[in-house]
Amino acid sequence: MTATFEHVRPSACPACAVAPAAEHLAELPKEATLMLSLPGIHCAGCISGVERALLAVPGVRDARVNLTLRRAAVTAGPEVEAETLTAVLERAGYEAHELDPGVLATTAADRAGRDLLMRLAVAFFAMMNVMLLSVAVWSGAEGVTRDMMHWISAAIAIPAVIFSGRPFYVSAWGALRARRLNMDVPITLAIALALVTSSYETIHSGEHAYFDAAVMLCFFLLGGRYLDHRTRASARSAAQELAALEVPRAVRVTDAGEETVSVAELAVGDVVRVRPGGRVPVDGLVLSGQSELDRSLMTGESLPVFAGEGSLVSAGEVNLTGPLTVEVRAAGRDTALHRIADLVAVAESGRANYHSLADQAAKLYAPFVHILSVAAAVGWWLYTQDVRIALNIAAAVLIITCPCALGLAVPAVTTAASGRLFRKGLLIKDGTALERLAEADTVVFDKTGTLTHGLPTPLDADALPPEAAQVALALAEGSAHPLATSLAKALRSAGISCAEVNGLREVPGHGVEGLWRGQVVRLGRATWLGAEAPEETATFLKIGETAALTLRFADTLREGAAEVVEALQRQGKRVILISGDTRGAVARFAQAIGIEEVIAEALPQEKVALVAELSGQGAKVLMVGDGLNDTAALAAAHVSISPASALDAARSASDMVLMGRSLAPIADAVRTSVSARARIRENFTIATVYNVLAVPLAVAGLCSPLIAALAMSLSSITVSLNALRLK
């Protein structure tokens, strides 16, 4: 958690106001709330299991699972780390990911949702009461009784509509100020005109008042708005919260010693130290130290690269084995990391001109409604020379044509679809993402970290002679290098015991060595052991003076990857694999999974270029990727999906995020999106049919408030029910 000194708060003691730092120290949190994402939970047993497992961890004071959001909030002492908790849950059999404590920042979104819900409740209350009163009028109340009903309706409806319709007025005013028309302009106009003519009629003891219609309009439209908000808010927050991987801090080496500073403070020429396991914070030149770097998130290369004195490193790479001292060549905005971010910004602007089905409908609808109601009013005025009748007709036309069903048509389907996909483990971040996914005809996959786990596993550990295997295990356990830990895990699970190796020593950037029965044994890079490096990920074992043994590694396929590729190909989509990894590794992998179009050794720019080129040819591209190198391509694609393990940048650039490990939901998502688009179109048709039937009545002046109320509620209910048919 970062300490901010900017925040101003009224302080009771003057000393605290003078020394904000002291005040801050005094209020340092004694316990922190940690948030965990639990994509796999689904039943009462899971709730109990997770809470019990969490409460058993020392230091945890309280744990509460939210099944709706699939999250757990844990209150714990400062000594408890989120990794400990996720590890505990994994052992208990629940998949868990850490969420950023920035979760608390989502309360703003919650407040907006609660605000909408309250307006919805007020509109519902008013609608029910006004309806009851209207029943008396519809069934033939006359004279004083009718006037009384109208007056009471007005007293309820006017304040309720002013309060609950506020979101529409604000949005309509914003659109008008920008000299545009949106859906909310006719809505606001209809509500205002209905209230004004109804009040006028009530004052003059008129026959028709549309208070019920105005309130009902507010209720149904707010319902659509609320559904829309809820879908987006839950997805947006969950995608943002998955723990951040960026490095906000660096260790700067000065003459006075080492100090931890924010990355923003670093200047070119500074010297920083990067510890093993840490992420490189800047672009720079290695001054001293030897290590290996994992570039997979930056470039997609699965094989760690050697870094020694004079090597260039860039921000975002992970230092694996030895400490490095790096001279800053570029920091902050100038780093390669940020250039990728800029690429994303450029790519994103291209997608902004997608018009959703709702927008297309609104564009046709808004001008048409205004023209129609003005024409009806003018016609009646010419015919009867009576402004009162003309205004009444205009109000009736606006109310009848008001997009109740249109306002529900899209949110109802999107809510149904995203709820379905959420249960399968897919978060939809953008409202129009489903529509765009339904259009996709080309799928571009990244390899490392997307179709694979990004973690190598040894291929032929069983083939090693038993003694060599024991030595390899002893050596592998002496290193934290990913290849070594993976090898050690595989050998252990094969039931191999450790050989006695003395003087175990890690040679940063090269490997591990030790003494076994008086011979030097080494496990490490090809160049170090004088072996020939093959075209794939491998490490080597050399015992004494014998020839080095090759231990090949391959990335393991992510669950569901093969099925997804096959399902997409069966659906007739063009599937392309693009990776920054070496040619050999990519080709072998593509063959195994059955993808024919392959592009290897692609730079981030080339990925964007490919996506842009495909789009230029008229293809609608679905991009699936996880690394920084994919980020720009994700943003440029027509629609994009990233796994939960992806970098923040990649997740925020994509429209959908997979919550679990499996890729299988992608095929489901494509199927659901196609069916959702069909439902949305049907809903528009239903809404239009109702309008076409009712508008002539309104124009002819035959539309009583009863017909308006019936048409409005029937169309809204039909549309909602149709949305629920979604498979």
Binding site for another protein (CB under 8 A): 43-45, 47-48, 52, 62, 64-69, 114, 117-118, 121-122, 125, 128-129, 132-133, 145, 148, 152, 156
Tokens representing residue 424 in the block: 């399968």
Tell me the C-alpha distance between 154 and 242, whole Å.
49
Indicate the pairing of strand 249-254 with strand 257-262: antiparallel
Nearest partner of 56 among 34, 23, 84, judged by Cα: 84
What are the angstrom distances between the C-alpha of 360 and each of 197, 363, 531?
A: 31, 5, 63
Question: Exactly one of 147, 228, 270, 446 is catalytic; which is it?
Answer: 446
Nearest partner of 194 among 415, 431, 395, judged by Cα: 395
In the bound complex, what is the minimum distance in angstroms from residue 147's beta carbon to another protein? Answer: 13
Residue 334 bears catalytic tag: no
Indicate the pairing of strand 549-557 with strand 519-524: unpaired
Taking the least distance from each CB to another protein, the nearer of 117 and 287 is: 117
**Cβ–Cβ contacts within 10 Å for residue 254, how many?**
10
What are the angstrom distances between the C-alpha of 569 and each of 576, 624, 625?
A: 10, 15, 18
130: three-class secondary structure by DSSP? helix
In the bound complex, what is the minimum distance in angstroms from residue 644's beta carbon to another protein? Answer: 20
Tell me the C-alpha distance between 579 and 334, whole Å.
25
Q: For the chain, how many helices (H) and strands (E)? A: 25, 26
In the bound complex, what is the minimum distance in angstroms from residue 114's beta carbon to another protein? Answer: 6
Tell me the C-alpha distance between 42 and 67, whole Å.
7
In the bound complex, what is the minimum distance in angstroms from residue 60's beta carbon to another protein? Answer: 14
Tell me the C-alpha distance between 169 and 166, whole Å.
5
In the bound complex, what is the minimum distance in angstroms from residue 133's beta carbon to another protein? Answer: 8
**Cβ–Cβ contacts within 10 Å for residue 21, how many?**
10
In the bound complex, what is the minimum distance in angstroms from residue 29's beta carbon to another protein? Answer: 21
Taking the least distance from each CB to another protein, the nearer of 114 and 727 is: 114
Q: Quick check: 275 and 463 in contact, CB under 8 A?
A: no
Tell me the C-alpha distance between 397 and 395, whole Å.
5
Taking the least distance from each CB to another protein, the nearer of 118 and 371 is: 118
Taking the least distance from each CB to another protein, the nearer of 3 and 44 is: 44
Taking the least distance from each CB to another protein, the nearer of 93 and 530 is: 93
Taking the least distance from each CB to another protein, the nearer of 43 and 352 is: 43
Beta bridge partners of 552: 538
Give the DSSP letter of residue 450: I
In the bound complex, what is the minimum distance in angstroms from residue 46's beta carbon to another protein? Answer: 8
Taking the least distance from each CB to another protein, the nearer of 75 and 325 is: 75
386: three-class secondary structure by DSSP? coil
Taking the least distance from each CB to another protein, the nearer of 52 and 583 is: 52
Tell me the C-alpha distance between 138 and 712, whole Å.
16
In the bound complex, what is the minimum distance in angstroms from residue 66's beta carbon to another protein? Answer: 4
392: three-class secondary structure by DSSP? helix
What are the angstrom distances between the C-alpha of 95 and each of 36, 421, 559?
A: 10, 18, 14
Nearest partner of 594 among 564, 633, 618, judged by Cα: 564
Catalytic residues: 446
